[in-house]
Amino acid sequence: MEKDVIILGIESSCDDTSAAVIRNGVLLSNVTASQAVHEAYGGVVPELASRAHQQNIVPVVDHALKQAGVDRSDLSAIAFTRGPGLMGSLLVGVSFAKGMAASLGIPMIDVNHLQGHVLAHFIKERDDDHHQPQFPFLCLLVSGGNSQIVLVRAYNNMEIIGQTIDDAAGEAIDKCSKVMGLGYPGGPIIDRLARQGNPLAYEFSKPNIPDYDYSFSGLKTSFLYRLRDWLREDADFIEHHKEDLAASLEKTIVDILMKKLWKAARDLKIRHVAVAGGVSANTGLRNAFHEYAERYHWKVYIPKFSFTTDNAAMIAITGYFKYTDKDFCTMEKPAYSRVTMV
Ligand code: KG4
């Protein structure tokens, strides 16, 4: 009988400390400690994030192993996010993972965070879970820091065919939410308000840039200027119209994202289309995926909420694929803050 492959995954690239255990590709545990400390600042404060990772990493890893019923001596390898992300945050997970792997004498596997988001679609929760995308597929990767269209030919063969030339979609939502005084992170708040508003109430500027690239900074500026004009006429404009503003903003962003994705799918004749990253939690975007599936006969893949935001399960599954390829990392490879995709 073949030996089980058991991978511990560790994610600490931003403000979530997460650890997960995967056995033979099937998820056994996925534990995440989020950091509420940033809410008061309206954004992630890097120094506070790395301090919180230091406090969380040991209990989170311990919890993930216990929940999985796995002893550390059973582990085949440790996979960790090496980048991109906040350097202070990454250093905590990278150093911990390297130290633990070295002390156990098992391989260490470095994972690109963005590749992890894409491969989240391959996390199995049961042996008989067969809802994985077929290669090649397109993946719209939308988060607080990225908006990309990725052509995925295989687990280890991905190409970014389009990306934002300025702000990311999540960043635009968060900034517009901030100027409306709604709080941080804005995505879930805008989503909730949008459900009660009219998406056709206001029209905001849409970019006109070539190929499959995105741009969201013009939208952000037009939202800001128009809001300023409206507030001059009615000081309570936001309070009176926040649902319509949220719904119209969300519709504009979803339309921009879907238009380029549709163009790429048409040009490349690909009908398997996935979405990944924190913004894929958005209800309007999820609904748009279902509509396109019906209208254009796409087969769409939308991850579970817990696998859309930063999590270690996606790092562990990527580690599992790299383990089967014997694609290991060495001690001297450092964390990296930038680089969009391997
Ligand atoms: O992938 P992610 O968890 O991590 C970073 O990129 O940091 O994405 C976070 C982004 C934030 O901009 C957040 O506002 C957005 O995802 N987000 C949402 C929703 N939930 C999270 N955006 C729209 N609707 C949501 N329901």
Q: Whose CA is nearest to atom 8 of ligand 1?
A: 278
Q: Whose CA is nearest to atom 5 of ligand 1?
A: 144
**Contact predicate 143/14, CB 8 Å:** no
Q: Whose CA is nearest to atom 2 of ligand 1?
A: 278
For residue 162 and ligand 1, the question of a CB distance below 6 A is answered with no
pLDDT > 90? residue 40: no
Q: Residue 43: its pLDDT value, please?
A: 79
**DSSP state, 244?**
H
* Structure-model confidence comparison of residues 183 and 341, the more confident one: 183
pLDDT > 60? residue 260: yes
Q: Which of 29-38, 147-156, 226-235, 261-270 has the lowest mean pLDDT?
A: 29-38
Q: Is the bond leading into 136 cis (omega within 30 degrees of zero)?
A: yes
Give the pLDDT band of residue 129 (cuts 50, 70, 90). confident
Rounded to the nearest angstrom, the distance between the alpha carbon of 107 and the centre of ligand 1 is: 32
Q: Residue 1: its pLDDT value, please?
A: 66
Rounded to the nearest angstrom, the distance between the alpha carbon of 143 and the centre of ligand 1 is: 5
Q: Enter the pTM of the model.
A: 0.93
Q: Whose CA is nearest to atom 6 of ligand 1?
A: 144
Residue 275 pairs with which residues in a beta bridge?
140
Mean pLDDT of 317-334: 97
Q: Residue 168: its pLDDT value, please?
A: 93
Residue-wise DSSP of 51-79: HHHHHHHHHHHHHHHHHHT--GGG-SEEE
pLDDT (tens digit, 9 = 90+) per residue, 282-313?
A: 999 999 999 999 999 999 999 988 899 899 99
Q: What is the mean pLDDT of the chain?
A: 95
Instruction: Report the alpha-carbon distance of residue 214 to residue 326 in Å, rounded.
Output: 36
For residue 167 and ligand 1, the question of a CB distance below 6 A is answered with no
pLDDT (tens digit, 9 = 90+) per residue, 212-258?
A: 999 999 999 999 999 999 999 999 999 999 999 999 999 999 999 99
Q: Residue 341: its pLDDT value, please?
A: 52
Q: Whose CA is nearest to atom 14 of ligand 1?
A: 187
H-helix segments, 269-333: 283-296, 313-324
**Percent of the chain whose predicted confidence (pLDDT) is above 70:** 99
**Burial (CB count <10 Å: 0-12, 13-18, 19+), residue 161:** middle
* Structure-model confidence comparison of residues 11 and 185, the more confident one: 11
> Which residue in 142, 165, 162 sits closest to 150, CA to CA?
162
Give the pLDDT band of residue 340 (cuts 50, 70, 90). low
pLDDT > 90? residue 23: yes
Question: At residue 97, what are phi and psi to the nearest 5 degrees?
Answer: -65, -45
Instruction: Look at the block and give the residue holding tokens 């995440």.
Output: 32
